[in-house]
Amino acid sequence: MDMQQLIILCLTGILAGFVAGSMGVGGGIILVPALVFLFGFTQHQAQGTSLAILLPPISLLAVIHYHKNNFINYRFATILAITFFLGSYLGGLFAVQLPAKTLSKMFGVLMLIAGAKMIFGK
């Protein structure tokens, strides 16, 4: 992993944590598309790695299946878990300052963008 990839990976983790903390959505909405489109992961690898950051203990049983099939990049999962932690703290600070209506609209736009990219992208 080169420095540019490490920086992008850290920024992805912070963004995913921020979105989770501010909009109450799982990091997978950011992490899975980012791992697929920015790092060239397969869908299985992206999902497995995204689940691995939630391992203790939320998705342990699912991660076991992804691990058995070699669909987890543990180096990426560790970096994302650390940066996700920081991003979720910052996202929580941000979200409590927003009116509920604004936060709801931001969530809707995020879902539309992510959904369109997953359906029509690549």
Q: Name residue 14's amino acid.
A: I
pLDDT digits (tens, 9 = 90+) for 39-88: 999 988 988 898 888 767 667 888 899 999 999 999 999 999 999 999 98
Q: Which residue has the tokens 């998705």?
A: 59
CB-based contact 76:35 (threshold 8 Å): yes
Domain count, the chain: 1
For 50, the domain range is 3-120
Q: In terms of Cα–Cα distance, which of 97, 105, 85 is closest to 16?
A: 85
Q: What count of Cα atoms within 13 Å lies in the side-chain half-sphere of residue 80?
A: 28
Q: Which residue has the tokens 């959505």?
A: 25
At residue 118, does pLDDT exceed 90?
no
